[in-house]
Structure 1
Amino acid sequence: MPPPDHSISGIERVWNGERVVPVLTIADRSTAIPLARALVRGGIRVLEITFRTAAAADALRMIADSVPEAILGAGTVLDPRQAMRAAESGARFIVSPGFGADVAGASADASLPYLPGVATATEIMGALSLGFDRLKLFPAAQVGGVAAIRALSAPFPDVRFCPTGGVDRRSSLEYLALPQVFAVGGSWMVPPDAVAAGDWQRIEALARAATGGPETAFA
């Protein structure tokens, strides 16, 4: 397997200091561009498009073409085929809920950094054995949240986490206060009712609040 592009020179380099990553499940292609534009206006540039819907690859491609300032990645990537399809659609990074050596290989083949998911010490050891020290903790809330990160960081001091799963605005601040956390992922700034209503102003305000900007009446 080619050497992974995995740590400070990989995922963090591509994310370029962004610390809040919306996890977007887009079922309706028509919402993709206005949703991305609202998030970017709100100060969020890194967007993870989950490959959970039939519209995911098209949505990724549409955003890549129309919102070039967005830094796009594919999430919930479970196999090499999805990884290659994501790369062809314009993804700049790959995220999985767990660790897949075959997905890591496909990501390396496409020259894309890979952020694998872990939930246990055993999984962290497996990821470290292949050179990965930037890891997604998933599902973060369910496996112990802040307390879990503190506990896992004792035996694994060089690992940095991106907790995802059950993260809301309040817990995002708690996670980001930890030196072991380089970013958080979540969907609290893209509530389904706002997306369905096309309330892009509300989503822009929630994005601004998520990144520490001034809150508004829409947040």
Structure 2
Amino acid sequence: MSGKTENLLAVLNLQPVVPVLVVEEAASAVPLARALVAGGLKAIEITLRTPAALEAIRLVANEVEGAVAGAGTILNAAQFDQAVAAGSRFIVSPGTTPELLEVAAQSPVPLLPGAATASEVMALREQGYQVLKFFPAEQAGGAAYLKALSSPLAGTLFCPTGGISLANAKDYLSLPNVVCVGGSWVAPKELVATEDWAGITRLAAEAAALKN
């Protein structure tokens, strides 16, 4: 196992659920991340889906003790480099391209690349990847699909993301090839908008209590 794979697993093994955040206002990033960390969710994926995302990553990386800031929805090399410069300690992509694999190979920051089919998983295995994001999890076949992959593609671990909630997270976490899941339910937009950080901490603690 490569050093980068070990570093990525060290992050993903911190908790059963990685929060997947869409941060609209950079000012909310620090209190939001602190609320998640207080509930036991230290690894935090901030998606590059808003203009505030890079600043949010920078603030969380610099100001939130105990947080491990990561960047999601990375689509190209430029975004990869920007996210690393902002302080991301892990990078997540919804799929994979040759450009992404090339920039990831040159970076010490580990990539969690997205895959949705057996062929995509096999292609990434050929590139040395052992830990993948399964996305979009529910739409691509759910826990039953991942269970079916566990034997023919033994040795590959997944972080399923997409359509996962408290109601179905255990279906995934019970599988031998799932290291953790990604979910947005721990930071609902309405709680962020009303700055209900205590409510988010409660949701984070509930998620952190889920076991593989």
Shorter-chain TM-score range? over 0.9
Match of 2:197 among 197, 200, 203: 200
Tell me how far apart the structure 2 counterparts of residues 155 and 36 of structure 1 sit (CA, whole Å): 38
Partner-residue secondary structure (3-state), 2:153: coil
Query: After superposition, what is the alpha-carbon deviation per residue over 1:139-182, rounded to whole angstroms, capped at 9, x for unaligned?
Result: 00011111000111221011111100000012111211111100
In structure 1, what is the equivalent of residue 142 of structure 2? 145
Tell me how far apart the structure 1 counterparts of residues 43 and 105 of structure 2 sit (CA, whole Å): 20
State the shift of 1:98 in Å: 0.4
State the shift of 1:16 in Å: 4.6
Asked whether the equivalents of residues 29 and 56 of structure 2 are also in contact (C-alpha less than 8 Å), the reply is yes
Match of 1:93 among 85, 90, 93: 90
Structure 1, gaps ≥5 residues long: 214-219
State the shift of 1:109 in Å: 2.3
Question: What are the within-5 Å matches in structure 2 for residues 3-22 of structure 1?
Answer: 6-7=4-5, 9-22=6-19
Asked whether the equivalents of residues 14 and 42 of structure 2 are also in contact (C-alpha less than 8 Å), the reply is no
Runs of 4+ in 1 over 2 A off after TM superposition: 4-7, 13-19, 107-110
In structure 2, what is the equivalent of residue 211 of structure 1? 208
Tell me how far apart the structure 2 counterparts of residues 69 and 108 of structure 1 sit (CA, whole Å): 27
In structure 1, what is the equivalent of residue 47 of structure 2? 50
Tell me how far apart the structure 1 counterparts of residues 66 and 166 of structure 2 sit (CA, whole Å): 24
In structure 2, what is the equivalent of residue 38 of structure 1? 35
Normalised TM-score (structure 1): 0.91
Q: Classify 1:69/1:190 alpha carbon distance in 2 versus 1 (closer, same or farther; 3 Å).
A: same
Structure 2, gaps ≥5 residues long: none
Asked whether the equivalents of residues 13 and 179 of structure 2 are also in contact (C-alpha less than 8 Å), the reply is no
Q: Classify 1:149/1:16 alpha carbon distance in 2 versus 1 (closer, same or farther; 3 Å).
A: closer
Amino acid in the other structure paired with 1:187: S
Percent sequence identity over matched residues?
Answer: 44
Normalised TM-score (structure 2): 0.94
